[in-house]
Structure 1
Amino acid sequence: MQQRRVTPFCTLHNYNNHILCKLRRKRTMDVGSQGRLSALKAAGSGADVRLLVAARCGIYMLLGGVMSCSRVLGDGAPFGMAMVACSGPGISGVFALTGAALGYLLGGGLEWGIRYIAAAVLVYTVSFVFHELEAYKSSFFMPTAAGLVMGLTGFLGSFSMSPGQLPAAAEIFLEVNLAFGGTYFFREALSGGLRETETAELRHSVSVMIMSACALMAFSRIVIFDTVSVGRFMALVLVMTSAMKGGMLTGAAVGTVLGLAMDVSSAGAPFYTMAYSFAGLLSGVFGKHGRVIFVLSFILAGALSVVCAWTAEVHINALFETFCASVVFMLLPGSLLNHVGLMLQHMERGSGESGLRRFAANRVRNLSEAYAGLFETVRRSVEEPGNDENVARIFDRAADEVCVRCKNKNRCWNAEYVDTLSAMNDATQAMVEHGSLDVSDLPGFFRDRCDKLPAFVSAVNAELRAQAYRKQLRIGLTENRSVAWGQYMDMADVLSRVADELGSLNGSDPLAERRLIRYLRSMDIDADASVYRDGGGRLHVTIESGRLTPLLREENYLEKLSAVVGARLCRSAAAAGEECSKLVLLEAEPLAVSVGIAAMKKKGEKVSGDKGTYFKTDAGVLCVILADGTGCGDEAAQDSAQVVAILEKFLRSGVDPAVAMKILNSVLLLRSGDSWGYATVDLMCVDLFTGETCFYKYGAAPSYVKSGKSIRRIKCETLAAGISMGAGIAPDTVRMRLRPGSTAVIATDGVIVDAEDEWLKQLLNKGFDDMKALARATLKEAESRYGVNDDMTVVTVRVEERA
């Protein structure tokens, strides 16, 4: 038994020395304690470290004593034991236990305090014995232990309760819960670890407020001149600070907590809960109007509370306490108020996201400028003129091949050089006109003098053909180079648009996000939600949660979500097939379209060489593509299908339609041999928010647009894609705005054969509402007029207001 009494104190002494050694080793400090021990890093000597440890122990002893003096409904005092439970098994726990024991003895005497002292000793023993277990690290281990110890001691002490006290079961239940909660929140309030999430910051702030309320309960028993309670006076100062720095909601919340603590401490009616919360709410409205107006509003709220409770109980002391607190509040320095207000401010989102977007936009824009500069550099080097067009070099090369072995070469090219040069000049014009050199093109004196005339003429013609081949090869090579380096500029255009979208003023909508999350939580749905606008200003909403079923079961959930975010929403077609844990919504377009398609393959062919598609991008733009491959049959169908697929991918990725068409033309120009044919391409893009419409054409047949009573014919002058040579040859582009009720007809050259189009205009004037019927009627009329000598495809589009 003697050994058992000595061992804890020896172990405690060793544990204390171990703590001091750890504090001296600065490099082994835990990152989680960096904020609390940063002062220890600055302390150089062991004496400084011991001084800080002594200060810490004094604080824990003081807190233990103060918490033990806090009363709950008369005689309950569980917070001293809770302070010991949260202090741990080290030297801090010993001093907290000492302070709590002294507080219980001095505050209520041995007979009353022995129960709580026993509970404090038991809970410290539990902490000391089990601190090396993994379960001890749980945030609920010591609160649970404190609750069990308090329940055990309360049960044993219930046999000595007087008849006038609360029922034993009610008091035990109350103290068990207060011990559990006090241990949990005190431990969180005293933790010095780095809090990395908004939830952790909020939990710490709430814990500090609860611990402060429990401490003020002890001071509320100290009354000056039988009128002013020190605890309630300090609580009023805290409520005023919270209301001024945190706003009306924070002031009301802090007033409710501190008022409830004062009411519990006094074991009276909930007057202070009502008075403090109302004063915090009312004065918080005037927090930005200066201290004088703020204090006056707080005093007025306190006076109204006293008047409202006048018939039940007179609280004249509350008026004196409010007045004294107001005077002291007016004298507090602004720096102190700012320091306290730091804990009360909401965690608002900063501009980090927009800053990152601007940073990425600058990076992309610099890359775009680099590609544009590369384009200019290559263009200047490639476009330098060559010197292979000089006809004289043809005669020089022929002479090097034939005349160099002739015995008369010195006479012809030295002694009589002028006559030879004159003969070559005389023959040049005829040679260029005929495309070859004939013996008769040379002067008579040269024919009589030249011993190897046939060989010379043959050599000249060979060189002439070689020059033509080189010219043709050079032209093709230059064109291919032009197309290749022209893609640098296309890439620069694409990157420039991406940079513009990243750097646009649009972005996240935090207010709509908060409203959406609040609505989802009202349905018990814990979800990650994002609300933002793209570069074009369209609203995007994404909701991710494992419990979206309650939301999707609502028949009108789209209307409800639209009312929450303030914009009409619709499901994203691209995300329609995704998992049920993710919901992607887009701002609904004010315009809608109906599309009709009719097609017929050439007579005798198994497949049509025409291919087309239509789709809507995430930006709310309807894209209609119609391609006609060169020729008919499988080869033409394959070419046109590849054209449509390439163009669709670029358009869906957000590339500008004109740039996408130029890239498509470059791809066809860079084909390998004859593996690719040419294709006429028709592209129609309709912005369903504004009605702005663009037609892009490469060698395509005319299109027709009926708006109101007028019909416009949209012609094309460029060649088909894959034939339009040169860097960056843009398609024919026509822009207009389509109003609701407008109709467009796009067709291949098998439907519109010549300039005769009155029949098509008459069909449009009939006012078809069904686009499929209009497409079939157009195809049928074209078949009756021109036969089925080519593949025929008709696409009709009508713009209407969304219902």
Structure 2
Amino acid sequence: MKFHLPPPGRRLRRILTLLGQAALCCVLTAARLGGLYAPFSLAAAAAAGPGLPGLLSLLGVTGGALLFLDFQPGLRHAAAAVLLFAAQTAFCDTKLYRRPAFRPLTAALSQLLIQSVYLLYRPLSQWVLCLTASALLAAATALLTAHGTTLRQKGLLYAAALSLALVPVTVEGLFSVGKALLMAELLLLSRRLPPLTAGLAGACAGLAADLVPETPALLLTVAYGCGGALAAFYGRLPRILPAAAFSLPIMALAVLLDVGPPRQLLLSCLAGGAAYLLLPRRWLPPCAERAARADAPGETAKPRRLEQSAAALRSLYDSFFRDTAPAPPENPSVIFDRAAEQVCRSCVLCANCWQQNYNATYNAFNDACPALLRRGTAQPEDFPLYFTARCVHLREFIAAVNEELRLFLLRRQYHRQLSCSRRQAQEQYAQMGDLLAAAAHAPAEEPTVPMGYRVSSALRPKEGQQLCGDQLATVETGGMLYLLLSDGMGSGPEAHREAALTVRLLEQFLRAGIEPAPALKTLNSALALRGETGGAFTTIDLLALRRSTGEATLYKYGAAPSYLKHTAHVTRFTAHSLPAGLQATAEPPEVTRLALPAGSYFVMISDGIADENSDEWLQNLLAGWNGTDVHALTALILSESRSRRGLEDDCAVLAVHLPLPGENRPRQV
């Protein structure tokens, strides 16, 4: 009996992501400035862009305006979101949209255009509040849409915005929840920034917190700005000292200045410092001094240089190759124009054909064009009878058309090959930048205790061949285990050479710390270029297993099915992409994410063992397997395949077994 478990639902994850984005836009509307503006929800909508994500974000902003704002401010806020979505939709296909400043400026201008109509006869303080909210909107949008912004930085911005929404919330009137959270977040941020930048970030956060009440003051702007600079200055000391340094300006201003309830501000400061001190150490980012030491020679100077090189290559690609439209194809009418120049110019009926009956001559050429382009040569019957009966130099004209047609087809073939070569060279620049960036951010060794594993592999060449056209490898690096299987085209020495080359190059990429996806795309592009000079193509089957958690990712380029066995359940993973070297160079490999629990087996095969249409016996074999020796399993698969299919093709089997806790013997490879 066979069991099939569906792969993880990509569509469901996509739907949940979109709904989460809409919910975030709705909740961020609660972060109100002066009770009138919610710039962070508009920034999240601007970061969503056009299309379905932008539309759902627009609905989230509209729902948040109804929930958290009064009717007139909420109506203006929703109108600004509609104008922003319309502008992004109108310009999304243009070069202007891809400029870094487009979305921040569009978001700020959308809010200013809507709000300024209602501020014509209002006092200056209302204008200042609107301009400040628009400046915060542009800054937040720029951070969310910048190319180098990390997920942690975006999360910190969203957390700060949600903290602003909690500024009016107090615990028994003693301290503000939002102010305490904002202080803890600024302390986290100050560990990674130099004092001046941390002070500027604190001043911006304090300004936003000051603008939350309808009667704003500038106490927190000064206090958080000075506190952030002091905390960053003492960042490398024990945590209690930066927290105390951050608190000093707040305490001094709260006591010396008669602004707001001093006791509530002091208790909010103490609560934020306590929350920061109670955070686990592993959650803390490295301090600014430690990050500065990364520039020292011999530590992480090489990753920094790799990152700069990657940025340079990406900039080169963006500057020269992105959005460059190919030249339009040559019009086939040039064939007849040049043939007429040679034959018709000296003909006695030239004026009759090209002046009095120009439309008829033009239509005759249009009627003949599809047939001669399809056949590659012109014949008299391709032209209408009224033209052939009138033409006195028909034989010479057909010969001239055939010569021009031959040259036209040669030029078309040349331009097609030139365009293909240019496109591949362009993609090589982009992929080289991705490779260098991946190498610069290679993950460090994991401190957790990894799971044990046992690997077994077997190769068998086709009957009559000495070398197997299938090759495989096992790579363990950086807490990851990679299983790689490649099937070369055909069999014999050429297939063996192509598969061995693919395995060797990919193994070098993985050992260098490069992520599998950019490594596979680069290898696919290289194989495509090599195929133009007589090379071949290969299938690639790659499993990336994180040994600390059992999470795995399966990459396929035209490979045979793979199988996951856990207890009596068997899941089959197939691919519909072409082999590496034939797949479009811009297309990534097919990716499937899965989990390998303890006690499971994962089996990779080449199409000489079984294929998608004849693997029922293999699924039944795996479902009924009750042993614990992975070597016995691979031997059984190889033997059963030989009895069913003979030696008509090269065969390869690569299997990994994650033992149960009681079976943790030393691994066997």
TM-score of the two chains, using structure 1 as the length reference: 0.43
Corresponding residue for residue 522 of structure 1: none
Corresponding residue for residue 387 of structure 2: 446
Corresponding residue for residue 597 of structure 1: 457
Give the Cα–Cα distance (whole angstroms) in 2 for the partners of residues 431 and 480 of structure 1: 28
Three-state SS of the structure 2 residue aligned to 1:785 is: helix
TM-aligned CA deviation for residue 746 of structure 1: 0.8
Give the Cα–Cα distance (whole angstroms) in 2 for the partners of residues 464 and 768 of structure 1: 69
Give the Cα–Cα distance (whole angstroms) in 1 for the partners of residues 615 and 401 of structure 2: 54
Corresponding residue for residue 615 of structure 1: 475
Corresponding residue for residue 446 of structure 2: 538
Equivalent in 534, 555, 558 of residue 699 of structure 1: 558
Assess if the C-alpha contact under 8 Å between 2:450 and 2:479 holds in 1: no
The answer to whether the aligner puts 1:750 opposite 2:597 as a matched pair is no
Unaligned runs of 5+ in 2: 1-287
Corresponding residue for residue 319 of structure 2: 377
Which amino acid letter does the alignment assign opposite residue 468 of structure 2?
A: S
Corresponding residue for residue 729 of structure 1: 587
Assess if the C-alpha contact under 8 Å between 2:531 and 2:581 holds in 1: no
Give the Cα–Cα distance (whole angstroms) in 1 for the partners of residues 417 and 572 of structure 2: 35
Equivalent in 596, 617, 628 of residue 487 of structure 2: 628
Give the Cα–Cα distance (whole angstroms) in 2 for the partners of residues 473 and 717 of structure 1: 31
Corresponding residue for residue 369 of structure 2: 428
TM-aligned CA deviation for residue 667 of structure 1: 1.1
Q: Which has the larger radius of gyration?
A: 1
Please list, as runs of the form range in 1=range in 2, the aligned pairs for 1:547-626 lying within 5 A after superposition: 589-617=449-477, 619-626=478-485
TM-score of the two chains, using structure 2 as the length reference: 0.52
TM-aligned CA deviation for residue 753 of structure 1: 3.4
TM-aligned CA deviation for residue 418 of structure 1: 2.2
Assess if the C-alpha contact under 8 Å between 2:531 and 2:537 holds in 1: no
Please list, as runs of the form range in 1=range in 2, the aligned pairs for 1:351-366 lying within 5 A after superposition: 351=290, 353-354=293-294, 356=296, 364-366=306-308
Give the Cα–Cα distance (whole angstroms) in 2 for the partners of residues 387 and 631 of structure 1: 37
Give the Cα–Cα distance (whole angstroms) in 1 for the partners of residues 373 and 531 of structure 2: 33
Which amino acid letter does the alignment assign opposite residue 702 of structure 1?
A: P
Which amino acid letter does the alignment assign opposite residue 368 of structure 2?
A: A
Give the Cα–Cα distance (whole angstroms) in 2 for the partners of residues 444 and 499 of structure 1: 71
TM-aligned CA deviation for residue 651 of structure 1: 0.8
Unaligned runs of 5+ in 1: 1-348, 502-534, 540-586
TM-aligned CA deviation for residue 378 of structure 1: 3.5
CA offsets per residue over residues 704-754 of structure 1, 9 Å max, x none?
A: 11134332211111111111234x321111111111111111111111134
TM-aligned CA deviation for residue 697 of structure 1: 1.3
Equivalent in 383, 395, 416 of residue 357 of structure 2: 416
Assess if the C-alpha contact under 8 Å between 2:303 and 2:439 holds in 1: yes
TM-aligned CA deviation for residue 653 of structure 1: 0.3
Three-state SS of the structure 2 residue aligned to 1:591 is: coil
Which amino acid letter does the alignment assign opposite residue 605 of structure 1?
A: Q
Three-state SS of the structure 2 residue aligned to 1:471 is: helix
Give the Cα–Cα distance (whole angstroms) in 2 for the partners of residues 461 and 383 of structure 1: 31
Three-state SS of the structure 1 residue aligned to 2:414 is: helix
Please list, as runs of the form range in 1=range in 2, the aligned pairs for 1:664-679 lying within 5 A after superposition: 664-671=523-530, 673-679=532-538
Corresponding residue for residue 334 of structure 2: 393
Give the Cα–Cα distance (whole angstroms) in 2 for the partners of residues 707 and 385 of structure 1: 55
Which protein, 1 or 2, shows the higher relative CO under an 8 Å CA cutoff with sep ≥ 6? 2
Assess if the C-alpha contact under 8 Å between 1:693 and 1:738 holds in 2: yes
Equivalent in 612, 620, 625 of residue 762 of structure 1: 620
Alpha-carbon distance change, 411 to 718 in structure 1, aligned in 2, over 3 angstroms: same
CA offsets per residue over residues 125-154 of structure 1, 9 Å max, x none?
A: xxxxxxxxxxxxxxxxxxxxxxxxxxxxxx
Give the Cα–Cα distance (whole angstroms) in 2 for the partners of residues 440 and 632 of structure 1: 49
Please list, as runs of the form range in 1=range in 2, the aligned pairs for 1:27-426 lying within 5 A after superposition: 351=290, 353-354=293-294, 356=296, 364-380=306-322, 383-388=325-330, 390-404=331-345, 406-426=347-367
TM-aligned CA deviation for residue 652 of structure 1: 0.6
TM-aligned CA deviation for residue 462 of structure 1: 4.0
Three-state SS of the structure 2 residue aligned to 1:711 is: strand
The answer to whether the aligner puts 1:799 opposite 2:658 as a matched pair is yes
Alpha-carbon distance change, 798 to 402 in structure 1, aligned in 2, over 3 angstroms: farther
The answer to whether the aligner puts 1:650 opposite 2:520 as a matched pair is no
Give the Cα–Cα distance (whole angstroms) in 2 for the partners of residues 621 and 474 of structure 1: 45
Alpha-carbon distance change, 752 to 465 in structure 1, aligned in 2, over 3 angstroms: farther
Assess if the C-alpha contact under 8 Å between 2:574 and 2:612 holds in 1: no
Alpha-carbon distance change, 697 to 465 in structure 1, aligned in 2, over 3 angstroms: farther
Give the Cα–Cα distance (whole angstroms) in 2 for the partners of residues 639 and 361 of structure 1: 32
Assess if the C-alpha contact under 8 Å between 1:598 and 1:772 holds in 2: no
Assess if the C-alpha contact under 8 Å between 1:609 and 1:637 holds in 2: yes
TM-aligned CA deviation for residue 798 of structure 1: 1.2
Assess if the C-alpha contact under 8 Å between 2:561 and 2:612 holds in 1: no
CA offsets per residue over residues 509-541 of structure 1, 9 Å max, x none?
A: xxxxxxxxxxxxxxxxxxxxxxxxxx34525xx
Equivalent in 384, 403, 422 of residue 481 of structure 1: 422
Which amino acid letter does the alignment assign opposite residue 764 of structure 1?
A: L
TM-aligned CA deviation for residue 382 of structure 1: 5.0
Three-state SS of the structure 2 residue aligned to 1:756 is: coil
Corresponding residue for residue 740 of structure 1: 598
Alpha-carbon distance change, 648 to 632 in structure 1, aligned in 2, over 3 angstroms: same
Which amino acid letter does the alignment assign opposite residue 770 of structure 1?
A: D
TM-aligned CA deviation for residue 692 of structure 1: 1.6
Alpha-carbon distance change, 757 to 656 in structure 1, aligned in 2, over 3 angstroms: same
Give the Cα–Cα distance (whole angstroms) in 2 for the partners of residues 782 and 721 of structure 1: 26
Which amino acid letter does the alignment assign opposite residue 747 of structure 1?
A: I
CA offsets per residue over residues 446-470 of structure 1, 9 Å max, x none?
A: 1012122233234334444443443
Which amino acid letter does the alignment assign opposite residue 608 of structure 1?
A: C
Give the Cα–Cα distance (whole angstroms) in 2 for the partners of residues 369 and 350 of structure 1: 24
Three-state SS of the structure 2 residue aligned to 1:484 is: helix
Three-state SS of the structure 1 residue aligned to 2:530 is: coil
Which amino acid letter does the alignment assign opposite residue 453 of structure 2?
A: V
Assess if the C-alpha contact under 8 Å between 1:480 and 1:669 holds in 2: no
Assess if the C-alpha contact under 8 Å between 2:353 and 2:361 holds in 1: yes
689-698 or 463-472: which moved more? 463-472
453-462 or 739-748: which moved more? 453-462
Equivalent in 471, 480, 501 of residue 412 of structure 2: 471
Three-state SS of the structure 2 residue aligned to 1:477 is: helix
TM-aligned CA deviation for residue 407 of structure 1: 4.5
TM-aligned CA deviation for residue 637 of structure 1: 0.9
Which amino acid letter does the alignment assign opposite residue 538 of structure 1?
A: E
Which amino acid letter does the alignment assign opposite residue 712 of structure 1?
A: T
Three-state SS of the structure 2 residue aligned to 1:671 is: helix
TM-aligned CA deviation for residue 484 of structure 1: 1.8
TM-aligned CA deviation for residue 701 of structure 1: 0.9
Three-state SS of the structure 2 residue aligned to 1:670 is: helix
Q: Cα RMSD over matched residues?
A: 2.7
The answer to whether the aligner puts 1:662 opposite 2:604 as a matched pair is no
Give the Cα–Cα distance (whole angstroms) in 1 for the partners of residues 301 and 566 of structure 2: 45
Give the Cα–Cα distance (whole angstroms) in 1 for the partners of residues 324 and 408 of structure 2: 20
Give the Cα–Cα distance (whole angstroms) in 2 for the partners of residues 690 and 676 of structure 1: 39
Percent identity among equivalent residues?
35
Give the Cα–Cα distance (whole angstroms) in 2 for the partners of residues 400 and 776 of structure 1: 75
Assess if the C-alpha contact under 8 Å between 2:560 and 2:612 holds in 1: no
Alpha-carbon distance change, 678 to 359 in structure 1, aligned in 2, over 3 angstroms: closer
Corresponding residue for residue 686 of structure 1: 545
